[in-house]
Amino acid sequence: MAAKRNARDVTHSPPINKSGTSTPTTQAPAAKSATSKSKDANLSAQEVAVAMWDNYVKATPQRTKLIDVFMAFLVVVGVLQFVYCVIVGNYPFNAFLSGFSATVGQFVLTASLRIQTNAENKAEFESISPERAFADYVFGSLILHFFCVNFIN
Amino acid sequence: MTVTTENSYLTGAKGRNTRGLLRLVILCTIAAAAVSSRLFSVIRFESIIHEFDPWFNFRATKYLVANGFYDFWDWFDDRTWHPLGRVTGGTLYPGLMVTSGAIYHTLKALTLPVDIRNICVLLAPGFSGLTAFATYLFTNEMSSTPSAGLLASIFMGIAPGYISRSVAGSYDNEAIAIFLLVFTFYLWIKAIKLGSAFWGALCALFYGYMVSAWGGYVFITNLIPLHVFVLVCMGRFSSRVYVSYCTWYALGTLASMQIPFVGFLPIRSSEHMSALGVFGLLQLIGFVEFVRAGVPSKQFQTLLRGFVVLVFSVALGGLVLLTVSGVIAPWTGRFYSLWDTGYAKIHIPIIASVSEHQPTAWPAFFFDLNLLIWLFPAGVYLCFLKLTDEQVFVVVYSILASYFSGVMVRLMLTLTPIVCVTAAMVLSTILETYLSMKSPKSDAEFVATEAAATKNAPAKGGLRSMRNPLVGIYTVVSKSTVVGAMTLYLLVFVLHCTWVTSNAYSSPSVVLASKLPDGSQHIIDDYREAYQWLRQNTKEDAKIMSWWDYGYQIGGMADRPTLVDNNTWNNTHIATVGKAMSSSEEVSYPIMRQHEVDYVLVVFGGLLGYSGDDINKFLWMVRIAEGIWPEEVKERDFFTPRGEYKIDHEATDTMKNSLMYKMSYYNYNGLFPPGQAQDRVRGARLPDVGPVLNSIEEAYTSENWIIRIYKVKDLDNVGREHGAAASFERGNKKKKAAKKRGPKVLRVE
């Protein structure tokens, strides 16, 4: 897992501007939905999107960006599987389900890790240190993969 | 007040140690009480399995222990549902059997070889001790007072509502399921409080275990999403909710799909759609919150809220569309009958025929929960006063469970835990309020501080501050009155629970006990007598036909193949047996031949006044058969012209000719002086001439005539009808009729 993430990082992550402070962060899809919703605002949609993207690139810590890249990768894999299922059909349904739910589950677990390690949410999770959050993440992922491997037959 | 109490006595590390020790001792005592109050039936009678369903679980466990796990998983059972067989590995919840198998092997590894029967008998009491402990943990998460957990634990340990399903010998799925239910809820509360993925994952694991143990897991799958949904609607969405729910759902759904009986149901069936819907909703809300944090603008927020509502309604619409178009399976009859309470009676008589599926009467609530039932609403009210995330859970659980327990008697079982928890919260609040000055030391201290407060207050001035210390009850008399009353109630509760357990819930239905006039116990053991006869005096593969109630017991005790059993998966097959039982001999004999039936077993309580016999269940057989063959079996034909269900001389011809009637009353007249044959259950005098059987013959009748077994005759040697052959044997030769040439048909071939 870690190796894969590093590989993704090398290829995809945008130039990183290291900044200690963490301000609100956004993702690429977030910006997309913002464009559709902010018609009423005075700014044009494109400007908002660009501003958000800049803000994201500037303000997000590198680790969080790594997590985001991994999540984006999971979304891509999940969508690819789903499209393949729609095109070809779902004959070994358990195989499709385990593959798809592996991506969904991993996405959700990673999102949980991202939330828990985010410095802003410190108040919310006072009893959970980032190390503990990572250990929980490993635990959850192990269970998830055990079930998926068992279910795929 | 807690602060003053804790400060006054039991301070410091020593006090904490003492309290810890006390707590441990109390919990151990509660576990002991929970176990020992369930042993009435073992001590009075013997260590056997009760009821009907547990016999199958016992048989499956024996198979597991004898043949290993993999064979058990792929077990095709050819000794039930005779022509069809049953794929047992894929149609049962294996949690119970695997648990007791694991206990068996553990004990064996510890060089304590215990018979598997004893493990099965004592599994439920053992797990009830664990349930009491789980309730303790669960309540401690709910309430800040230290005593609530202990109170809830003892309530759960001895409440008859739970004991009814977990006495020693009732080796049913509920035995371990209630422990898993409470423990899963404990883990869930823990997860949502801490927002921890670890606890969420643990919750999912125990949820998976629960799925493997009991079909009632659907309750959890709907309760947790409902809790989250209510939290979201209350505007209490937080990232803790997101983390705990999504971890639980992603892992728990995968875990539940590992059980073959559940399979793809979590994706396909309507019962599980609420969990999926809330999962999707949480993703959207999480995403929107994330964006909202990035762009602070009021218009933007309202737009986003609209976006959430829109997506939610689109998802709901899509779900409805999928359900209507049949991609997602609609509600199964069993669950649907919970909403539409008249549904089962009209469409699926087999669901309505089970006595556990009837609505609950008011006295049952008091009978099963005594004082807890009137503390229960107060506890829910208490939760409203301090509404945190976990209190919302209690409220949601209470409302849902009390509705379900009102609809169906057996769902009282899911209500019991929450009633115990809320009642314990109320009682501990009361006790905490009125007990706070019990110790003389704290009393003096408290009075002193109170006096100081009253003196200081007027000096500070202000009416409101003066009023504060006056509120409350300070005299020892009133306090001790209230505390005394509560103690009395609690003692009465213990007495009630013991009485109910001892009298109502501790009788094995296999053995019937009755009291002789001098007070000694007389045991009627006809069931085992007859099953033992079958086991020893019939062929290894002789097929037994009986009504489905006795299928599991025949399989378990007599060890013979049956046609139908308590697992009512094939309604048509049951209707076939119903038709054979309710038709005349000429019709039923071919049916029995086609199904290779060797023996027919009926239960008859007319001699002893045992009311749960087959004549009283007969109308259900007729109804179920009528559902499939409305032309051949008609319920109306079994009633007298005035619409009465009679078995005496007024009985209709259809009734008198039915196989069930004939088998029940065959030779019964011979027991009595002429003309005085009496049926003690129906309170009716029987006709003077008893029924005549042609195609079957009596093989065995037990001591008190409770079980009667008939052997199906072979085909006649010279090819006559059985009726004609029997009539010939009896000597009605009808010579004149024989001389006349009957309208013969041409011999074909």
B548-590 confidence digits (pLDDT tens): 999 999 999 999 999 998 888 888 999 999 999 999 999 999 9
On the question of pLDDT at B660 being above 90, the answer is: yes
Query: Which of B197, B204, B299 faces A112 most closely, judged by CB atoms?
Result: B197
- CB atoms B267 and A135 under 8 Å: no
- What pLDDT, on a 0 to 100 scale, did the predictor assign at position B444? 45
Residues of chain B positioned with their CB less than 8 A from the CB of A148: 254
Provide mean pLDDT across the span B441-445: 45
Distance CA(B10)–CA(B3), nearest Å, equals: 11
Report which listed range, A14-23, A71-80, B140-149, B602-611, is most confident.
Answer: A71-80
Confidence of residue B600 (pLDDT cuts 50, 70, 90): very high
Single-letter code of the amino acid located at B203 = C
Residue B276 above 60 pLDDT?
Answer: yes
Domains of chain B: 18-47+93-269+329-429 (no CATH), 524-730 (3.40.50.12610)
Q: Where are the alpha helices (DSSP H) in B326-411?
A: 333-339, 343-347, 349-352, 362-369, 372-385, 389-407
CB–CB contact A143 B240 (8 Å): no
Q: Is the dihedral of CA B90, B95, B96, B101 positive or negative?
A: positive
Spell out the alpha helix ranges (H) of B362-388: 362-369, 372-385
pLDDT, position B297: 67
Kindly report, residue by residue over B362-396, the tens digit of the pLDDT. Answer: 999 999 998 999 999 999 999 999 889 899 999 99
Residue B441 has pLDDT above 60, yes or no: no
Q: What is the mean pLDDT of residues B280-290?
A: 87
Alpha-carbon gap: B379 to the closest alpha carbon of chain A (Å): 28
Q: How far apart are CA B134 and CA B103, in angstroms?
A: 20
Measure the CA–CA gap between B269 and B394, rounded to whole angstroms: 27
Q: Which positions in chain B touch A94 (Cβ < 8 Å)?
A: 257, 264
- 8 Å CB contact between B553 and B55: yes
**Which residue from A27, A41, A136 is facing B196, i.e. has the nearest CB?**
A136
Which residues have a Cβ under 8 Å from the Cβ of B356 and sit 6 or more positions away? B408, B409, B410
**How sure is the predictor about A48, in pLDDT bands with cuts at 50, 70 and 90?**
confident
pLDDT in tens, A75-85: 999 999 999 99
In this model, does residue B472 exceed pLDDT 80?
no
pTM, to two decimals: 0.85
Rounded Cα distance between B614 and B547, Å, is 8
If one compares B252 and B290, the residue with the highest pLDDT of the two is: B252
Q: How confident is the model at residue A25 (pLDDT cuts 50, 70, 90)?
A: very low
Instruction: From residue B727, give the alpha-carbon distance in Å to each of A112, B419, B477, B720.
Output: 82, 65, 89, 11
Residue B5 has pLDDT above 50, yes or no: no
Residue B351 touches partner A, C-beta closer than 8 Å: no
pLDDT at B316 over 90: no
- For chain B, helix (H) and strand (E) counts, in that order, are 35, 10
Residue scoring higher pLDDT (B500 or A39): B500
Is the pLDDT assigned to residue A23 strictly greater than 60? no
For chain B, the average pLDDT equals 86
Residues of chain B in contact with residue A52, where contact means CB-CB under 8 angstroms, are 294-295
